Structure 1
């Protein structure tokens, strides 16, 4: 439908809702919110900052392009993942996850220590490859099938180790298929990771799986549930921290940072910085060079999350000041390094500096092409730049948007 360009976001949402004959309670319910929340959004009384909630509104309104809500030129596409962003590896991963055999073999040829090593190497690849999604997704079908086989055929200590490996593999599957997997697969993967860890009765594995589950809950607009899962996992592992191995404290710290970002996206500034400080204290208790193998929790990641928290709280000055003090080369994860520059670009956009935002988005894309191409916040920044970049930078902005895949026509 044709929507007047001068309408606010809230007015657009109301117009779209009414044109579909939807009541306010119905649309609000699809977002996991109440009608009063939606009324305030539509009236402009409340600002909608959450990208995840914008996505849920777009899905509820059956839109394929988020810019119909946010405004802008029709040539700029900000895709709504009604199913998924397209990736050629997804069918094979889907088959491995969803076609699990009900009659597993009675014995296995899978060596559990080799399986654990393969999972660890795949996590390393996820964090170090420029094409991490493609390369890791190519490994996942075999990893999933072997981990399932080992967990269902081994016994005793070997089975516990296999279950930890299975949980690890499903956590990696959740990371590698984020934004390209249908919602039902994301939920299946998160649940299986947590169930395997609980069956292994391994507190650090349970905590890591809860971190993963929290990611799914937050990105599907269930922040309260995400916070509950992460705080319960923190309570589970906290009694072990005094004598725990470094990786147990590492996953505990990762849970604190997860909670910090969740609170920041809800505008809960005090809670956000309180959780961040808890993660910061854990980082101080670990060796300066420590990095958790899957969450990459460590000194550099704590500093990175400070930028994310400030950006989500819309404190652009603080976010950019914090980013100035970070040496990106200290971040061991290519994926996180690319995301750091995306956060910096978001900070520059908040201040209206599209020249600086374009510069750092190009850095992000050079560092992690697939991270930028498959991360909604990065795609949103790229679409904004292509639509509103200064005239002298429009070609560069257009080239970046085309490379990321957010332009409908160039």
Structure 2
């Protein structure tokens, strides 16, 4: 249908929704938000500027281009099934959703130890490669099948070890498929990671799986449930910490940082900094060089999260001041370094400094191109730069948009 040029984005949503015979309840539900949230957008009481939410609404309205919502001055982007696409996803879908029913060959204990080693190595690829999503997605299908087979074939301690390996593999699957996976697969992966860890009866594995589930809950707009999951997991592992190895402390600290960011995004400033302080205390209790193998919790990650919390609380001056004192190279994770620069870019955008934001977004792409391409906050920042960059910088903003898959409207 033809949408008048003078309509606001909220008016466009209402017009398109009503033209399709959709109630507010239906559209709000498809976007995982409340009816009141949608009503305020449609009536102009609330702005809709987040790129990820614009894409979600556009997909729910079955649009083929986001510019139908944003108007002629907005950012256009082709919409494919409401989520980002990656060619490695079909093989993951097959490995997760098509479970083998035939009896598995019985591996020996050494095979299970080797399996855990392969899972650990794949986590290292996730954190060390600038094309981490592509490389890890290629390795995961066989890891998932091997772990599932070992769980079915073994019993006793061997089975428990296989369950931990399976939980770790599913946790990594959750990380690697974030923002590209259909919701049904995301929930299956999160549930299998947690179920395997609980079956193994290993507190650190349970806590790590809860951290992963919290990520999925938070990113699918269930912040209260995410906070409940990670705080309950912290309560579960806390009694074991006095005599536990460093990695148990590491996952406990990661849970605190997760709660800090979740609280910050809900504008709960006191809670956010209280949880960050708890994570900071954990980092101080560990060796200065310590880094958790999968969450990369450690001194550098605590400092990086301080920037994230400040940005999510919209205290950009504080965020940028903290970032000025950081040395990103002390973080061994390429993925996490790229995300730090995205957070710094968000801080600059909050202050209206688009030149600085563009510069650091270019750094983020140089460090971890796939991290930027498949992270909604990064795409939102790039879309804002594309839309509002100073005239002299528009060619660079357009190049950045092209690098991460935002398509210009001709």
Q: How many residues align?
A: 409
Q: CA offsets per residue over residues 322-358 of structure 1, 9 Å max, x none? A: 1111110011100000010011111111111111111
Look up the match of 1:337. 337
Distance in 2 (CA, whole Å) between partners of 1:72 and 1:385 is: 16
User: 2:299 matched to 1:299?
Assistant: yes
For 1:121, the equivalent position in structure 2 comes to: 121
Tell me how far apart the structure 1 counterparts of residues 35 and 400 of structure 2 sit (CA, whole Å). 39
- Mapped to 1, the partners of 2:232 and 2:107 lie a distance apart of 35
Alignment of 1:391-402 (within 5 A): 391-402=391-402
Partner Cα distance (1:295, 1:172) in 2: 10
Is it true that 1:90 corresponds to 2:89 in the alignment? yes
1:214-233 maps to which residues of 2 (within 5 A)? 214-233=214-233
SS at match of 1:111: helix
The change in CA–CA distance for 1:67 and 1:324 in structure 2 (over 3 A counts) is farther
Query: How do 1:94-243 residues align onto structure 2 when only pairs under 5 Å count?
Result: 94-105=93-104, 107-108=106-107, 111-243=111-243
Q: Which residue of 2 aligns with 1:327?
A: 327
Consecutive unaligned residues in structure 1, runs of 5 or more: none
Instruction: Give 1:152 shift.
Output: 1.1
- Say if 1:4 and 1:244 are closer, same or farther in 2 by CA, change over 3 A: farther
C-alpha distance after superposition, 1:258-286 (max 9, x if no partner): 11111222222222222111111111111
Contact 1:52/1:220 (8 A) holds in 2: no
| Cα separation, partners in 2 of 1:276 and 1:351, compared to 1, 3 Å | same
1:26 aligns with 2:20: no
Partner residue, 1:361: 361
- Distance in 2, Cα, partners of 1:315 & 1:40: 25
Distance 1:15 1:259, change over 3 A: farther
Report the TM-score, using the length of structure 1 for normalisation: 0.92
Is the 1:76–1:383 contact (alpha carbons within 8 Å) kept by the matching residues of 2? no
Taking structure 2 as the reference length, the TM-score comes to 0.92
User: CA 1:246–1:400 in 2, change beyond 3 Å: closer, same or farther?
Assistant: same
Structure 1, 357-366 or 174-183: larger mean CA deviation:
174-183
Question: Which deviates more from structure 2 when the two are superposed, residues 380-389 or residues 28-37?
Answer: 28-37
Please provide the CA RMSD for this pair: 2.3
Q: Which digits, 9 at most, give the CA deviation of each residue in 1:200-245, with x for residues without a partner? A: 0001101100111111111111111111111111111111122221
Matches within 5 A, 1:55-66: 56-66=56-66
How far, CA to CA, are the matches of 1:96 and 1:162 in structure 2?
17
Mapped to 1, the partners of 2:273 and 2:51 lie a distance apart of 20
SS of alignment partner, residue 86 of structure 1: coil
Q: How much does 1:5 deviate?
A: 5.4
Within 5 Å, give how 1:5-20 maps onto structure 2.
7-20=7-20
Give the deviation of 1:14 after TM superposition. 3.2
1:264 matches 2:276: no
* Residue matched to 1:404: 404
| Aligned CA distance change for structure 1 residues 14 and 112 (closer, same or farther; 3 Å) | same
Match of 1:283 in 2: 283
Q: Runs of 5+ in structure 2 lacking a partner? A: none
Cα distance in 2, alignment partners of residues 353 and 280 from structure 1: 30
